[in-house]
Amino acid sequence: MAVQTNPFHRIFDKIGHTPLIPLKKVGSRGMKLYAKLEWANPFGSVKDRPAWWMIQEGERQGILKKGESIIIEPTSGNTGVALAGMCQALGYKAEMVVPKRVSSETKGIMKAMGVKMLETDDDLCPRVGPGTDQAIALAEAIVKGNPKKYCMPNQYKNEANFQAHYETTGPELWEETEGKITHFITGIGTGGTITGVSSYLKEKNPAIKVTAVQPQKDHHLQGLRNIEESQMPDVLKRRVEVIDDWRTISDEDAFNTLAEAGRMENLFLGPSSGATLRAALDLSDNVKDGVGIVIFGDSGHKYWSVYNQFNVFTKDEFDKLKVGARYNAEPLFLENKIPPNK
Ligand SMILES: Cc1ncc(COP(=O)(O)O)c(C=O)c1O
């Protein structure tokens, strides 16, 4: 076998094949619950997959050119972090348009990776739809002003976002459960995860039920979107029929649930995972047999400011989970291990 010596490629090889673990203590009510730990991706979230697929697709189409293009993207954080890390590794410049409410730690990580940041007044997740979409509109205006220089992957429209999950997360879940999965539960941001994974799974077994988790209006769950507050992103709209069941989770329920997961499972969850876990637990009460998989999109590492504001953890509890939680992966940005620009 050829020995891979290029450190840049080794990073991208580490995307996907994240752990799937049983939730024994918080999840023992009805159906068996397992969690897919997407924080184990190199840049720390579920967004590593679409970010990498969108970059590869941009390069394949020739709209992204090394040494020339600047990548600009409207993002509520994780796509920005993933793209920023990848740009740093590949030698692209990056600019991100983020809503003000994104955690200060997330913005700090992007800045530390050399990203130029622009802030807008959107809710936590960039809004979609004319008149409300400040982050998206600003990024689009910048691209329009200089289309040769700027490339906007646009995760809300880009089919590679769907494709990443259709080709990786979906098959992983099918294989890892040996086809036994009966329920899939995940949050809605762009809709890439839910449409990609569910399309694949339903081709394998149309009886699999899919639960979409959205936050309350005016929420604080980074990465998620309430679709009554903003239009549906195109990526979601194209295949929204894969969803069988919608659940809305309050900030309070999400934060309480993730604190419980910290205490009972010794797992360090990000805010969106508190919401998906709450929905999965509610669902599991009403399903006698079955195998449910819930997506944990990122870990708690970059949310001290949020957890402090909402009294989710004391500093001591937070620090203990940060170093001692089970399956704690160390995203590259925390260790500052991203190779320098080529
Ligand atoms: C932590 C987290 N969970 C879930 C999601 C939702 O994923 P998707 O955009 O695929 O709907 C995101 C999206 O940014 C996220 O950052």
pLDDT at 87 over 50: yes
Percent of the chain's residues with pLDDT above 70: 90
Q: What mean pLDDT comes out for the span 222-245?
A: 93
Question: Does residue 106 have its Cβ closer than 6 Å to ligand 1?
Answer: no
List the catalytic residues.
Answer: 47, 272
What percent of the chain shows pLDDT beyond 90?
A: 70
What pLDDT shows up at residue 103? Answer: 84
Judged against a pLDDT cut of 60, whether residue 175 lies above it is answered with yes
The finding on whether 233 has its CB within 6 A of some atom of ligand 1 is: no
- What pLDDT does residue 33 have? 95
* pLDDT attached to residue 336: 56
Q: Is 191 in the pocket of ligand 1 (CB under 6 A)?
A: yes
Please report the pLDDT score of residue 1 as a whole number. Answer: 41
Region 276-292 average pLDDT: 93
Any ligand 1 atom below 6 A from CB of 188: yes
Nearest CA residue ID for atom 15, ligand 1: 223
Nearest CA to ligand 1 atom 12: 223
pLDDT score of 7: 55
46 lines ligand 1 (CB under 6 A): yes
**CA 14 to ligand 1 center in whole angstroms:** 19
pLDDT at 225 over 70: yes
2 Cα to the center of ligand 1, angstroms: 35
The full set of domain ranges for the chain reads 7-40+168-326, 48-156
Best of 48, 226, 272 to mutate for ligand 1, by most ligand atoms within 8 A of CB?
Answer: 272
* Closest ligand 1 atom to Cα of 125: 14
Spacing, Cα 180 to ligand 1 middle (Å): 25
Mean pLDDT throughout 205-219? 96
Q: How close is the Cα of 69 to the center of ligand 1, in Å?
A: 26
Cβ of 284 less than 6 Å from ligand 1: no
pLDDT, tens only, 128-171? 665 557 888 889 999 999 999 999 999 999 999 999 999 999 99
Ligand 1 neighbourhood includes 99 CB (under 6 angstroms):
no
Band of pLDDT at residue 335, cut at 50, 70 and 90: low
Reply yes or no on whether the pLDDT at 319 is more than 60: yes
Ligand 1 atom closest to the Cα of residue 196 is: 10
Assess whether pLDDT exceeds 90 at residue 218: no
Q: Which residue's alpha carbon is at the smallest distance from atom 7 of ligand 1?
A: 189
In terms of CATH architecture, what is 48-156?
Answer: 3-Layer(aba) Sandwich (3.40)
Same fold, 7-40+168-326 and 48-156: yes
pTM: 0.93
Q: Model confidence over 39-74: pLDDT tens digits?
A: 999 999 999 999 999 999 999 999 998 888 999 999
Fold of 7-40+168-326: Rossmann fold (3.40.50)
Give the pLDDT mean for 215-243: 92
3-state secondary structure the chain: CCCCCCHHHHHHHCCCCCCEEECCCCCCCCCEEEEEEHHHCCCCECCHHHHHHHHHHHHHHCCCCCCCCEEEEECCCHHHHHHHHHHHHHCCEEEEEEECCCCHHHHHHHHHCCCEEEEECCCCCCCCCCCCCHHHHHHHHHHHHCCCCEECCCCCCCHHHHHHHHHHHHHHHHHHCCCCCCEEEEECCCCHHHHHHHHHHHHHCCCCEEEEEEECCCCCCCCCCCCCCCCCCHHHHCCHHHCCEEEEECHHHHHHHHHHHHHHHCCCECHHHHHHHHHHHHHHHCCCCCEEEEEECEECCCCHHHHHHCCCCCHHHHHHHHHHCCCCCCCHHHHCCCCCCC
* CB distance 187 to ligand 1 below 6 Å: yes
Q: For the residues 305-326, what does the mean pLDDT come to?
A: 96
Q: Assess whether the C-beta atom of 74 lies below 6 angstroms from ligand 1.
A: no
pLDDT bucket at 10, cuts 50 / 70 / 90: confident
pLDDT surpassing 80 at residue 3:
no
pLDDT one-digit tens code per residue, 94-106: 999 988 888 888 8
Highest mean pLDDT among 8-12, 65-69, 108-112, 255-259: 255-259
Arithmetic mean of pLDDT, 320-328: 94
Mean pLDDT of 184-210: 98
| Res 334: pLDDT | 64
**Average pLDDT, rounded, for the chain:** 90
CA 188 to ligand 1: nearest atom? 11
pLDDT at 77: 84
Average pLDDT for residues 319-342, to the nearest whole number? 74
Per-residue confidence (pLDDT) for residue 4, from 0 to 100: 46
| CA 293–ligand 1 middle distance (angstroms) | 16
Q: Between 336 and 341, whose confidence is greater?
A: 336
